[in-house]
Structure 1
């Protein structure tokens, strides 16, 4: 319990910003068009700047990239198998199953990086960026495949490939790693510019997370509770077991388990709406998971620390 003040002190400001964003959105301040613009601005500029800055200047040789990738692939395959094994028991149609699947494997990047930096500091932020570089494309491919198979999605291989190669977070990770491995780094004063942009990414991103939560349409409480338990409890336990087998290292293990315990993201709602999934259901799942993470995430962090 010695780490309890550290964990609560780190998570308190993060969840306060999320709740502030929710409160401001419910009050209609500063206006209806503000929050979509903030989310786009953060997603396409500020967050990529943060990732490029962190990855380009990191000492990547200090981290167990191979074992981290192995754990990520194994956890995604394991959760996919578990979701399909539970489908007959869940008694859901195809669109609802695709939302359960997204709710069980997607994670909120803003919350993840904010937690990693607050709890595990600079090196934890670098490991978090590496985890995101590996996990984001894999999760997107799997979710599109499930939506195509069960929700009447019409995405093609070319469409999925285009979506991946134009994803700003994936491009930022590849750019940062490329600049690092090439030895170029961040020349011509770009490090200072990116650092200034990066400082705004997490506060605005966390406010947008709160503003994107949906309090309406909270239905099927049993299904919401089951999906939240899979995401916030079962997945961290699975990842911890995989890390015990693969042994990626203490810091890498802590960050991997932390990311497994993150709530879902609003991007799942957007993808469900585009490809025929149950969009209201996944919106409710993200809201419930974010609320439940107020309790489960500190418990997981205390466990891994």
Structure 2
């Protein structure tokens, strides 16, 4: 009964530790800002490339797995758009943050949970899941925000989409995924020193990423209306995983694939949503509140969803 909560409790302890260290000024605010860049530019690309470039992509059909991930994500985005329409009196900036809060997810937590609960096989599946989702999520979310916020940006939609595509082409995560897939499909072997170094970086990645997740939470000075926070939480922590679970039963997806997809569904909104909200004229304070509230709520909701998933999928 308590297996899943106990297994993922250290993950949330590390998140809480990161929050406490940053608020205590340890080591310094600059340290955490640089650590964010280290994760983004080095650690995440390393773990993605190491795993994807050496994975046996033909060992298991991933069509159903991909369908679950995309279904959950697009249900979340659609729910966010409907919520933004219902609460249009809050303004388009708030609506754009609601869309992000309903559809985006924290990949760092997904990798940590999958590894903690389901070992190397679960971690590899989670990395493949992130590879399947990351390009589509980035393109969909940014394009949606461009369409929602054209006046705030003061430039044409076409120009913004072109700029978005250029930024995505330079995204280290997407570049590492593309390079790893090319390596894998070319049938290139595992290179001892090169891949061993990436593996060591990958082992360092997860604890550092979790500390950074906590360091980026903002509990002090949060000010946001309850309506958008509630709608985003319902969409992300309720509808997103429910859609994945329902479709998994219809498609009869292998149990572990279904459970890893459900893990993505049960995740809180990712911290990158705050940066994007600031860059594109969204409601950044509301976005910060959504990230914090959902991360706190997921302490309780994620074990519930995953426990239910193990029973339903027969793990």
Q: Fold match, TM over 0.5?
A: yes
Of 248, 269, 275, the residue aligned with 2:274 is: 269
Q: Take 1:162 and 1:19, find their aligned partners in 2: how far apart are those partners?
A: 36
Deviates more, 1:176-185 or 1:9-18: 176-185
Q: Take 2:97 and 2:207, find their aligned partners in 1: how far apart are those partners?
A: 28
Deviates more, 1:190-199 or 1:21-30: 190-199
Of 283, 305, 312, the residue aligned with 1:300 is: 305
Query: What does residue 52 of structure 1 align with?
Result: 49
The answer (yes or no) to whether the contact 1:63–1:127 under 8 Å persists in 2 is: no
Q: Secondary structure at the match of 2:269?
A: coil
Q: Confirm or deny that 1:189 pairs with 2:193.
A: yes
The answer (yes or no) to whether the contact 1:46–1:197 under 8 Å persists in 2 is: yes
Deviates more, 1:294-303 or 1:129-138: 129-138
Q: Take 1:237 and 1:244, find their aligned partners in 2: how far apart are those partners?
A: 11
Q: Confirm or deny that 1:139 pairs with 2:137.
A: yes
Query: What does residue 287 of structure 1 align with?
Result: 292
The answer (yes or no) to whether the contact 1:116–1:124 under 8 Å persists in 2 is: yes
Shift of 1:188: 4.3
Shift of 1:132: 0.9
The answer (yes or no) to whether the contact 1:64–1:252 under 8 Å persists in 2 is: no
Of 98, 121, 124, the residue aligned with 2:119 is: 121
TM-score, normalising length from structure 1? Answer: 0.94
Query: What does residue 208 of structure 1 align with?
Result: 212
The answer (yes or no) to whether the contact 1:261–1:297 under 8 Å persists in 2 is: yes
**Alignment map for 1:253-264 (pairs within 5 Å):** 253-264=258-269
Q: Secondary structure at the match of 2:267?
A: coil
Deviates more, 1:39-48 or 1:171-180: 171-180
Shift in alpha-carbon separation, 1:75–1:176, aligned structure 2, 3 A: same
Q: Take 2:282 and 2:200, find their aligned partners in 1: how far apart are those partners?
A: 38
The answer (yes or no) to whether the contact 1:68–1:252 under 8 Å persists in 2 is: yes
Gaps of 5+ in 1: none
Q: Take 1:22 and 1:82, find their aligned partners in 2: how far apart are those partners?
A: 30
RMSD: 1.6
Shift in alpha-carbon separation, 1:129–1:257, aligned structure 2, 3 A: same
Q: Take 2:73 and 2:113, find their aligned partners in 1: how far apart are those partners?
A: 21
Shift of 1:70: 2.4
**Alignment map for 1:66-145 (pairs within 5 Å):** 66-91=63-88, 92-145=90-143
Gaps of 5+ in 2: 311-315
Q: Take 2:115 and 2:178, find their aligned partners in 1: how far apart are those partners?
A: 20
Q: Take 1:169 and 1:250, find their aligned partners in 2: how far apart are those partners?
A: 27
Shift of 1:29: 1.0
Q: Confirm or deny that 1:11 pairs with 2:28.
A: no
Aligned length: 302
Shift of 1:60: 1.6
Q: Secondary structure at the match of 1:60?
A: coil
Shift of 1:63: 2.6
The answer (yes or no) to whether the contact 2:80–2:101 under 8 Å persists in 1 is: no
TM-score, normalising length from structure 2? Answer: 0.91
Give deviations 1:123-156, integer Å, cap 9, x for gaps. 1111111111121111111211221122234562
